[in-house]
Every structure is written in C-alpha cells, then in structure tokens.
Chains A and B, each alone.
Chain A
Amino acid sequence: MAHHPDHDPGTGQYAYEDGNALAGPLSEILTVDPTSALGRCTGCGSRWPLAHLHVYAQAPGYVGRCPDCDQVILRLVRSPDKAWLDLRGTVALTFRLGP
C-alpha cells in the first residue's frame, strides 16, 4: 500500500483497509462477488472495482471512500436484524455476470 497521511508510523497501522474488507459484509446482501463490481465516483469521475476503495471499518459502520478523491462512495450499517446500504457516491455498479 502506498504511503498516505493516515499511516501511523508509531503503530505501523493504516487508518483504512482496502475494499476487500467489504467482501464479507456486502456478500450478505449481494449474491455476486461484490468487490469485483465496477463503480464510478460521482465526485471525481474515476472508475475502480470496489476492492480498491479505502474502507474505514473502525467506525460505527463501514465507510468506503474513493481512492482518488476520498469522497464517500458507500456506507454499510448492520444492526442485529437489518442492513442499510447507501451507494450514493457511485454513478452505478457494474457486475460481470454469466451469459
């Protein structure tokens, strides 16, 4: 992972993980592999697979941010009996499916 300002040299830890951290919590909702789905940032227009998002998992929910401009792409909150998925930061999600 490239250097970024949220790397804490004291603990050697990063403030965020990559989008693969979303594989488990998102696959509960989406039946296809969610991290390979392609999105496009509504802020800066960059395109990426969800696996490339910067994911802040140490918050009350998961927050996925654009790797290029840090805009919030998705928020995922799980309660004991519900999940909320907000995808307002991506223009669309493209899933590769079988014919």
Chain B
Amino acid sequence: MTTEKKAEKKPEYIKVEIARPRAYKWSSGKYLGKLYKEALENRKLVTNRCPKCKQLLWPPAGVCGRCNVEAGEDWVVMSGEGTVLQYTYLVFPLWDPHYGDRLANPYPTATIKLDDGVFLVHFLEEKDPEKLKNVKRVQAVWKEEGRGRGLGDILYFRTIDE
C-alpha cells in the first residue's frame, strides 16, 4: 500500500483552472408544465390524483408508480398550508453551485407536510433559531417577481399563529 512521499526538490505542480458555465434547457412535460402554469398565472399549487388508488401524486406525474397505471387529468388544487416536520438552517454560509449566489446564513429550510398529504422541502420566513424550534403551522407566500419557476414561485412559508 502507498504512503505519502515528500519530494526532494519541489516540482512544479499546476492546478488547471477550468471555469466553464453550463446552460441546460429542461423540459417540464405536460404534468409538471401544469404545475408551473398554475403557479405562475394563478398562484395555486396543483397536482393530479391516481385514478386507481386515489392518492395524490407529487410532483404531478404521468404514471402512478405504486399502481403502475396512467395517472390522467384528475387535478386537485392544494391549500398551500402545512406542518413543519424537520428543519435546518445554515450556520456557515454556502454557495449556490448552480447560480453562483451566496446562500447567506441562516437560510432556513424545512420538510413540510401539506394539509393535502404531500411533502415538500422549502424555505421558512422565520430566521430566529430560537423561534424556529416552535414553528409548526405554515403557509405559502408567493413571490411578486422572478416568477415562472414552479415551486420556486413560492418565496417561503410563513408561520401561521394559532
């Protein structure tokens, strides 16, 4: 097996910098397209239902993987309210590797169970670590600008006082 060897004379090792921006164009398809359209135009969260087991598919999809049947067009408008199951926040800032933005702390994200029964991961408005401990019920707040990004049209989830 190998161990690290120290070179007698320091050789010239070079790191070749390759800064290569990449552009992609992903297709939403019919089902996710509907989610994008409803979010953009009507500020509504929609998904479709399996005709056989009647469960909500999430994200909206063309097939129900559990029943192996074609899902179809039984669309449901969801409430946009839910309960926080898990959350975390950045203590140390990160970089968004795709857009190059700095993800400044605390950048709280949570796994949220919507009242309709589906789960999503999204941002929380609450940024105080102590108050985050008690965040339970939340509701979607829609963005005013930079829309057209599906779930990204939701700015964050705001605490509902109950």
Chain A bound to chain B: no
List A residues at the B interface (Cβ < 8 Å).
Answer: none
